Structure 1
């Protein structure tokens, strides 16, 4: 951390509550060399606050807004009540990603028999230049397409394999919910059974979840950690279902 670095007025920052007095709370700002900022009781909540300890406690990790910075007096005025919920959640997500990235870089250093300093100099800079940030590169390596992109962007294969190995231990791929709505019609007396049988066959063949929405609409869905493969599977299933419906004298289309 750079001890000479100071936050800017209006900036959203994260810190840890280190002291709480009757009319103020002091926050250690990890992003700025653990410089301390102060929240006055009037900046804690949008209503009258009788006991500041009901809102902040020592050890709490909180997101605050920088209201004023006086470098000569070494004073940083902060506000808790002026932080929007969205900004607070986004800042907390960024902070958690940063911590996770630092942990994965340490593991990467161990795997490659390098010091953390060497990894930061030789590898972190390269990853950030090519992918924006370390976390995204690790997360990207979990899918076949993302791993291939690492290679295409110039990450050597040994490093890409090490990144993928660590990501598999430390991260989870979020499941994507892929859906398609079909309109299916059959003009035969047993049309309902024809449609039902065709859908059941597709369900077994493609391992899909198929639901009746409302005549003549049916929903095809799949949860998968590989979104592109899931999209292909739903597309292939939809095309096959429509083909079989048409062969039986009916009509079908994707909404």
Structure 2
């Protein structure tokens, strides 16, 4: 006889208290199939309920190839344009998603998924055997904080605080055993690792040192002229002076990116001490380079590489706004990977465009007569 292993039921639930998204919400979906009218998708944050991206909502520009815009199995950020809860219809749009919505959607989804994964694992450990039990756990914990702060995925920040302050979960209507399981899983998944503090990119040409504090690997182009003769020696001396701040507990590294770019980094478990060490290093570099009539300028202050703050979002938005000027799907290059949409989908759209042109031509001809 072959013994079969008893498997726990696969529990599932939505990420948020609302069963359906609201109009103008940005959501993450996975494309399931492509039909004549558009693409059928599953809303990942809402327990994989079905939605549809209409053909006319795929792109802001003329569609040359549907397969370049959307593929089966790919995840997309889309915006909700219509919800019929009675019939279960959800119409979505890809072309109406703007850069700021895209970034905010991806960040919220990542946080909500992390919280959901923790609580779903807790439900498995506690032996829950129904989706209703998982939903009740979410309602008493994650959704409680979402309602309290009136923001989706607000529970993520609360769970992060619970790593060091267990009392933040006291207001949840759960028993001690459940609370301990939640805290145990939070510590495993959300305890911060050693943070990496980056003092950015230093720009040096002939005793000229400009430190650019960037979390993301991007920087502006800077032109610096070389007028001196002994500049490189002064630069080496300044960097060597900065390295004297390095200790076994707080190692400081200064690496060359590309002349005149340098980056100052350290790894630490204590954010405040790490920032202080990097600032001390920069101060030594400044004193040394300026004593040799060089130039030192900090453009952005040292910060933790893993921080996700408003300033970072703004910089990413500005860059993505420039990139969004070129809408995907406008090029003529053929792509072959992924599933191919029905041939009639492209032909149908071209036929509609052709009919519109013909109607305009006939109207102009009749006006001329």
Is the pair's TM-score, using the shorter chain for normalization, greater than 0.5?
A: yes
Equivalences, count:
236
User: Out of 82, 92, 99, which is 2:96 matched to?
Assistant: 82
Q: Does 1:94 align with 2:108?
A: yes
TM-score (norm 1): 0.62
Aligned to 1:209: 254
Structure 2 runs not aligned, ≥5 long: 1-13, 171-179, 208-231, 247-251, 257-261, 298-369
Residues 81 and 93, structure 2, Cα contact 8 Å, conserved in 1: yes
Q: What corresponds to 2:196 in structure 1?
A: 175
| Secondary structure, counterpart of 1:90 in structure 2 | helix
Q: What is the alpha-carbon root mean square deviation over aligned residues?
A: 4.9
What is the match of residue 225 of structure 2?
Answer: none
CA displacement 1:116-170 (0-9 Å, x = unmatched):
848646665687669x7443355567xxxxx54x25x5569x77676333435xx
Distance 2:235 2:46 in 1: 64
> 1:239 & 1:122 partners in 2: Cα distance?
50
Deviation of residue 65 (structure 1)?
Answer: 1.3
CA contact (8 A) 2:197 2:275 kept: no
Picking from 75, 80, 83, the partner of 1:69 is 83
Is the 1:23–1:52 Cα contact (8 Å) retained in structure 2?
no
Verify the 8 A CA contact 1:209 1:220 in the aligned structure 2: yes
Q: How many Å apart are 1:64 and its aligned residue? A: 1.2
Could you say which residue in structure 1 is the equivalent of 2:72? Answer: 58
CA distance in 1, matches of 2:30, 2:183: 35
Aligned counterparts, 1:37-48, within 5 A = 37-48=51-62
Q: CA deviation at 1:21?
A: 0.8
CA distance in 1, matches of 2:235, 2:34: 68
Aligned counterparts, 1:96-111, within 5 A: 96-107=110-121
Residue in structure 1 matched with residue 264 of structure 2 by the alignment? 221
Residues 162-200 of structure 1: per-residue CA shift (max 9 Å, x gap): 6333435xx75653313699xx9xxxxxxx989966763
* Structure with greater strand share of residues: 1
Pick from 244, 263, 275 the counterpart of residue 231 of structure 1.
275
Cross-structure match for 1:187: none
Shift of 1:63: 1.5
- What does residue range 102-181 of structure 1 map to in structure 2 within 5 Å? 102-107=116-121, 117=134, 120=138, 124=142, 133-137=154-158, 139=160, 148=164, 150=165, 154=168, 163-168=186-191, 175-178=196-199
CA contact (8 A) 1:26 1:38 kept: yes
**Aligned mates of 1:4, 1:110 — CA distance in 2:** 23
Query: Which of the pair is proportionally richer in helix?
Result: 1
| Structure 1 segments unaligned to the other structure (5+ residues) | 142-146, 185-191, 212-218
Instruction: Find the aligned partners of 2:110 and 2:199 in 1 and give their Cα distance.
Output: 28
Question: Given the superposition, is the C-alpha separation of residues 49 and 236 from structure 1 closer, same or farther in structure 2, using an over 3 Å criterion?
Answer: closer
Q: TM-score, normalised by structure 2?
A: 0.46
Q: How far does the alpha carbon of each residue in 1:33-73 deviate from its partner, in whole angstroms, 9 at most, with x for none?
A: 54322222111112222543332222222211122233454
